[in-house]
Each structure stands twice: as C-alpha cells, then as structure tokens.
Amino acid sequence: MAAVYKSLSKTNGHKEEGPANGVKKNKQRVLILSSRGITYRHRHLLNDLASLLPHSRKDAKLDTKSKLYQLNELAELYNCNNVFFFEARKGKDLYLWISKAPNGPTVKMHMQNCTSFHSHTSQKQPLTQNPVHTMEELHFTGNCLKGSRPILSFDASFDKEPHLRVLKELFLHIFGVPKGARKAKPFIDHVMGFTLADGKIWIRNYQINETEPSKSTAVSSDAEPKPKPSKSSNSKETEISLVEIGPRFVLTPIVIQEGSFGGPILYENKEFVSPNQVRSEIRQKKAGRYNARAEQGIERLAKKGDLGLRTSGGRKAPVNELDTAMLFA
Amino acid sequence: MVTKSKLKMALAADKGVDFKKLALKKKEKVAKKSKSKKGGDQPKANGKKVEDGWEDVEEESDAGEEAKEAAELIEDESGSDEEEEGVDKPMEIDFAGIDESDSDSSAGENDQENDSEDEEDEEDIPMSDLEDLDDEEREDIIPHQRLTINNTVALTAALKRIALPVSKMSFSEHQSITTSTPVSIPDVSDDLNRELAFYAQSLSAAQEARKLLKAEGIPFTRPTDYFAEMVKADEHMAKIKAKLIDEAAGKKASAEARKQRDLKKFGKQVQVAKLQERDKERKQTLDKIKVLKRKRQGADTEATNEADMFDVALEDETSKPSRKDRQGPNKRAKKDEKFGHGGKKRFKKSGDAMSSGDLSGFSSKKMKGGAKQRPGKARRAGKR
C-alpha cells in the first residue's frame, strides 16, 4: 500500500514540477574521470575539482586514449550530460576535454599553470614546465563548504566570440552547481573566476569572507573628506573580502568539435603550440649549438688551408726565390 | 532568389555569393535531404550510420549546410520542415563563410588554395614557404601550426543547442555573473597585477551576487553555528596554519638576526667614537692644566694684554673646580711625580754617570772647616 502511495505521490510530484517551472530546469550532472598516466598532481587536481562539484560523478581511469567516444556510453550509464575528462600525455602534459555528453559540442584544452603566486618562486620558467596548483598546496588559506554552490564570475570578453561563448556555456554547466543538486549545501561561500587573458582562460577559486564592518574602517571613512552615502544606508551589510581556496589553473583552448568526442571541427586555435613542439625546439636549439661549433671548426680549417698555413692539404704556399731554404740549399 | 529583400541581396553581393552556384547547391541539398531521410530513418538507434553521415559531409566539403541538417535530424526526429527552414534562413547569407571554413577542415594540408579566399587566411603563410628565411628573421615569426578554423555559424548553432535560458531563469538557478567590461590585463607575466585583476573581478561578482540573492531571499551567509564538511579537512587547515606560523616565525627570526648584526656593526663604531672622545677630553684637560700652571708661575709676565686677561677670567670661570676635577688628575699627577708612573722600575735607585757627576751636594767650605767645630764633651755637658 505504502509502495503504491509512494509511486503515486512521486508521479504526482513529477507532474506538478514540470509545468510549474515552465522553463527548462537547470539539470546538470558531470562525469569526471581521467585517462591513465596522470601524475599525482593531476590526480589531486581532479579530486579537488570533484570535491567542489557535488553534481559530479567520479569514475575510474579510462583505459584508452584513442577511443574517447566510449565516454559517451559511460556518461549515459551514469546519467551524466557533461563529461570532464583529463587526458595525460607523456606523464607530463595534461589536456582537458569538456563535453556535453550525447550530442556535443566538445572542447579540448591544454591545462597548465603559468606562474605561481609566491614572489620568491617567480623566476620565469617556460610555460610547459610549470605544474598545476592543487588545493593541497599550502599557500591557499581559504576554505569553503563541501558542496556549496559557487558564484561564477565571467569576464565580459567571453561574449565577444562564438567559440568563447560556447566555452562559457560549458563552464556554466560544469562548474555551476545546479540548484537542486543532491549533495549541494544551502549557503554560498565561494566564487569561481573565469578570466580571459593572453588567449588563455585563467580559473581561480575564492572563498567569500564576510566580516563585520570594523570600527577602524568606519573611523577612516569619517576621517576621509568624502564619506560614502551608500555605506551609511546599508551599514548592516558585512564587508566582503576574498581568500583564495585553490586550485588554480590555466586553460588554452585547442579545438572545438561539434559532436561529443567526435564530429567535425568547428574551431581550432591556431596560436596553440603543443608542448611537444616547444620541447623539441628547445632540444633542437641545444643540438644546433654543437652543430654550429662543429661547422665553425671546419670553416676555420678551410680558411687556414686557403692561406697555405696547413702542412697537409689545402693550397701550397708559392715557393719564394729568396727563401733561406732556397738560397742555401 | 528574386524574392530576397534588398538588404539580403546587398549582403550577398558583398560576400560575393554566386547565385547560380547557390541554386545548384540547393538542388544538391534537396536531393541529399531526401536521401538522408530515406537512409536515416532511425539515426539515433544506428550510430554507425550517423558517423557515415559525418564523413560524407567532410568529404564533400562544399555542402557545409548538410552537417547542420543532419544534426538537426538526429536531434529531433520530428524535424518538421518549418524548423529546418528556420535554421536554413539565417545561414543562407553566410554561405561563403561556411564553404571556406569547411573546406579548411577537410583540406587540411593543401593550404595554398585557401590562402586567397578568406581575409584571415591571407595572414597565414605555410611554414614550408618560410624555410629559406634567415634565422634572425625567423625568430620574429609567431609560428602557427595550422590554418584557422572558426566556423562561426556552426558554433552559434551548437551554442544555441546547449544554452541555458539564463535570462529567463532566476539568478539563484545559475548564479553566474558576467562583468560589464572586459577585464584587461596588460602584462600576463606580472603576477601581482594579474592576480589583483582576477581578485577584483571575483570580488565585484560576489558583491553583486549577494545583492541579487538577498533580493530573491536565498540564504547567503553561513550562520556561525552551521557546521558541515568542508572542502579542506581540519587537519589540512591545521597544516596551513602551522605553515603560516612557521613562516611568520622565520620572518621574525631573520629580522631579529639582521637587527642584531646591524647593531653589532654599529656598536663597534660607537665604542671607537667614545674612546676617541674620551682621549680628546683628557688631552684638553691636561692642556688646560698646563696653561693654568704656567699662568700661576709667571702671571705678570704674560697676562698683560687684555685678551689674555679675559682668557684667564674665562678659564677661571670654566675651570671652577668641581670636586672631582680638583681631586682627579691633579692628585694623580702629583702622585705620579712622587712615586713614578710607568716605565722601568729596575736600577732606579742605583747610581749612574749622572748621579756621580752631580756635585750639588758637595761644598768645599764644609770640607775646609768652614763649618763650626763641634765643642768638646765637657763643654757640651757644661752647657746643659
């Protein structure tokens, strides 16, 4: 009887929910997984992100790197409509695939972190060598509820170009926790920033720290010649400051496909230089140094030979009549 | 074609659309559509078929439109003609663009053809043409590995497909805020300013979001008595705290050490200066004493002119004897004179050439009986 009632009430509930909202509900579920061969840093980052996204489902590492379309089936299996996939290459490069599961689009991005925040480690390094920062790192002092819904802060330049708009939409789906998410917590205590700079997307995660408007600031504002009128109106409002929680990372979009892990390519970033190429160029430059030196040596020999300064080979110096060897032979 | 509006015609003319070609394509398209409808009765069930469809599209490269329609077909099988028309219409204008970008994607390697077609493609020069450049010149080149693919129409279509109706939803549904003006970061490698820009962006978003959420009556601030699992566990936070404390302590210790070092360096200087000053003072006082002595001995010989007199008066005034002064160096000097100070003490009392040559205590008068004879014993006794 109870079961019948339950089923009845459930269906009723469903029916009510549908028309009541009118518009489509924001329903997102994210499948989070990685390929084989990720480093511990990548794994930590993945765990951090999974802990920040209560609407996510973490799965075991995917065995294949070539048959990514298998991810679609996996997503269907777990009722996920988003896929968030870390692909590690060569045990150092990390690529992030983001996809809307059944029909796409899919974005492939290169994940890296350019510079660290600490000034004492700010010696410039090539981009590829910089690791990803995870929450484990101890200079992020912020903290937030596990599963609280973030505020997503987008840079206005995301609306400028169609491929960026697609990216923004995908970020909105994946990093935005939908309202009724099962494990979501009721309060809002962190904000995620997505900024476009230098053709890359920089992602930061901050805790919202609310403090009572302290007396010292009040005094200072009094001391200032122009006290703000708005301040007095909502004097009860607490002041907001941000503390970074981490993780932080930088994404370089590489390619956008129409389907989910397949389909024609809609966008390709021509400015992206793969880390492999960067490395190979560095190597070649190093090899080039030796080659240049060897070449120089050969040239010098040839030059000496031309001047007749070598005992064997090259041009012989013309015999001088007045040479001592000729005179006293 | 004639039914098109003037604006559309102008646009098409601008893009250089060949209407005859278009008409031909349309025919082709219609034929394809019928074919795909025949073939793709159940495209959802038959994944392989769909894939074939994609490949077809790529091969034929000139019919970019086809991809859209296939996608449309897959998405909703109902696919009424009206909808398809709706999709078609805005795209007609952009035929040129579509064709080129699609040929990009399909052609891939044979770049030379595409170069002249698109504005953006004109910038792209294949690397193979640049082989014979100097090394120095080559350094200035920003190497682009590939030619541009940016299929705007398809991208917007994809976006439309997945986009949430953000404008219709309440803010608490999506909680996303876009800045009013793009964040500009002049130098990405400038850590501090870059992070500041990010911070400012997020901060403004947080403030705005709080306003909006409060307006909607959504709880924002976490009450202090609400405890729940945090993203970072307590032990992790303890670690962070310990590290912070460590860092602060280290900083303090190093500052202290530096201060001490500086003090040490400075302290030596101070000591030397003090010793020098003391020396100077002693010299001055000794000088003063000498002058005073001289004055006492020959007061009238020298202190005749006014300045000297004045000087004396002044010196008397200044050397008004404090108790310490009176006793101090003067006494010592006296004592030193009497008992000797410093120097070798040995053989001090033994005679030497000087003392033996010193005849000051010798008098011939005394020797020659100049001195009175001592009276005899009886006389001396009788005197008493």
B89-145 per-position pLDDT tens digit: 444 444 444 444 443 443 333 444 343 344 444 455 666 566 555 555 656 666 555
Compute the nearest-CA separation of B187 from chain A (Å).
9
Q: Which two tokens stand for residue B325?
A: 């002064």
* Angle at which helices B234-297 and B323-339 cross, to 10°: 70
Q: Which of residues 216-255 of B touch A (CB under 8 A)?
A: 218-222, 226, 228-232, 236-237, 239-240, 243-244
Burial of B234: CB neighbours in 10 Å, binned 0-12, 13-18, 19+: exposed
CB A112 within 8 A of CB A128: yes
Contact: B158, A266; criterion CB under 8 Å = yes
| Residue at which a domain ends, from B323, B338, B353 | B338
The reply to whether A306 and A252 lie within a common domain is no
Q: Is residue A198 part of a domain?
A: yes
* B169 belongs to a structural domain: no
Q: Is residue B179 part of a domain?
A: no
Instruction: Say which CATH number the domain at A246 has.
Output: 3.40.50.10480
A149 & A67 share domain: yes
pLDDT one-digit tens code per residue, A99-135: 998 888 999 999 987 433 222 233 333 444 455 666 6
| Residue A142: closest CA among B199, B232, B225 | B232
Q: Is residue B13 located within the same domain as residue B158? A: yes
A245–chain B nearest CA distance, Å: 9
| Residue B347 is assigned to a structural domain of this protein | no
Q: Are B74 and B39 in contact (CB under 8 A)?
A: no
In a domain, residue B157? The reply is: yes
Classify residue A65 by its DSSP letter: S
CA proximity to B177, closest of B197, B200, B202, B199: B202
Q: Is residue B229 part of a domain?
A: no
Which residue type is seen at B76? D
How high is the pLDDT of residue B335?
Answer: 83
Same domain, B245 and B160: no
Domain co-membership, A280 together with A195: no
B242 and B102 assigned to the same domain:
no
Name the token pair of B350. 């033994």
Return the axis-axis angle of helices B6-15 and B95-107, rounded to nearest 10°.
30
Pairwise CA distance, residues A205 & A242, whole Å: 9
Q: What is the pLDDT of residues B247-262, one digit of tens each?
A: 999 999 999 999 999 9
Same-domain check for residues A206 and A243: yes
Q: Are residues B42 and B155 in the same domain?
A: yes
Write down the pLDDT at residue B45: 41
Number of domains in chain B: 2
Identify whether residues B159 and B12 lie together within a single domain: yes
Q: Are residues A281 and A251 in the same domain?
A: no
Decide if A324 is inside a domain: no
Distances in Å between the alpha carbon of B93 and those of A11, A285, B11, B157, B338? 47, 48, 7, 15, 125
Token couple for A233 = 């109106």
Q: What total number of domains does chain A contain? A: 2
In a domain, A321, yes or no: no
The rounded distance, in Å, linking the Cα atoms of B14 and A315 is: 70
CB contact under 8 A, B177 and A262: no
Domain boundaries, position A305: 276-310
Structural domain contains residue B300: yes
B78 vs B4, residue with greater confidence: B4
Asked if B201 lies within 8 A of A195 by C-beta distance, the reply is yes
Q: Helix, strand, coil proportions of chain A in percent (round to 5)?
A: 35, 25, 40
Looking at per-residue pLDDT, the higher value among B341 and A243 belongs to A243
Do the Cβ atoms of B202 and A265 come within 8 Å?
A: no
Residues of B in contact with A139 (CB under 8 A): 243
> What is the enclosing helix (H) or strand (E) of A153?
strand A151-154
DSSP assignment letter at A194? E
Q: What are phi and psi for residue A271, nearest 5 degrees?
A: -85, -5
A54 upstream amide cis, omega within 30 of 0: no
DSSP per-residue letters across A112-139? E----S-GGG-----GGGPPPB-TTSTT
Integer Cα distance of B169 and A191 in angstroms: 19
Taking the Cβ of residue A204 and every Cβ of chain B, the question of whether any pair is shorter than 8 Å is answered with yes
pLDDT digits (tens, 9 = 90+) for A13-22: 444 344 444 5
Is residue A243 located within the same domain as residue A108? Answer: yes
Please check whether residues B19 and B153 belong to one and the same domain: yes
**Residue A226: per-residue pLDDT:** 41
A185 and A297 in one domain? no
Beta-bridge partner residues of A197: A200
Average per-residue pLDDT for chain B: 71
Can you give the C-alpha Rg of chain B in angstroms?
56
| Within-domain flag for A10 | no
The residue-averaged pLDDT of A147-164 equals 93
Do A159 and A280 reside in the same domain of the chain?
no
- Model confidence at A188: pLDDT above 70: yes
Residue B18 lies in a domain: yes
Q: Which of B164, B188, B221 is the last residue before a domain boundary?
A: B164
Pair A79, A213 in one domain: yes
More confident residue, B308 or B366: B366
Q: Would you say the C-alpha torsion A94, A98, A101, A104 has a positive or negative sign?
A: negative
CA distance B74 to chain A (A): 9
Quick one: pLDDT band at residue A217, thresholds 50, 70, 90? very low
| Helix (H) or strand (E) segment spanning residue A282 | helix A275-306
Domain membership flag for residue B192: no
Cα A49 from Cα A237, distance rounded (Å): 31
Question: Quick one: pLDDT at residue B275?
Answer: 94
Decide if A11 is inside a domain: no
Question: Please, which pLDDT band fits residue B342 given cuts at 50, 70 and 90?
Answer: confident
- What the block records as the tokens of A219 is 């005094």
- Asked if the model's pLDDT at residue A149 lies above 90, the reply is yes
Q: Do A56 and A193 have their domain in common?
A: yes
| Residues of chain B neighbouring A236 (CB-CB closer than 8 A) | none
A326 is a domain residue: no
Residues 151-170 (A) with a CB less than 8 A from some CB of B: 151-160, 162-163, 165-166, 169-170
Q: Which domain holds residue B74?
A: 6-164
Domain boundary among B164, B195, B214: B164
Instruction: Report in angstroms the alpha-carbon separations of B249 from A277, B241, B245, B256.
Output: 45, 12, 6, 10
Give the tokens for residue A32. 């989070």
CA distance A173 to A169: 6
Judge whether residue B49 has pLDDT over 80. no
Same-domain status, A168 and A253 = yes
Which residue reads 């990548």 in tokens? Answer: A42
Tell whether A163 is covered by a domain: yes
- Which is higher by pLDDT, B330 or A214? B330
B61 contact A CB<8A: no
The answer to whether residue A279 neighbours chain B at the CB level (below 8 Å) is no
Q: How many CB atoms lie within 10 A of CB A247?
A: 24
The residues, any chain, with a CB within 8 Å of residue B174's CB and separated by 6 or more, are A26, A152, A172, A176, B164, B166
Could you give the 3-state DSSP secondary structure of residue A154? strand
> Is residue A187 a contact partner of residue B222, using CB atoms and an 8 Å limit?
yes
Statement to judge: residues A299 and A248 lie in one domain: no
Q: Of the candidates B161, B181, B206, which has its C-beta nearest A151's C-beta?
A: B206
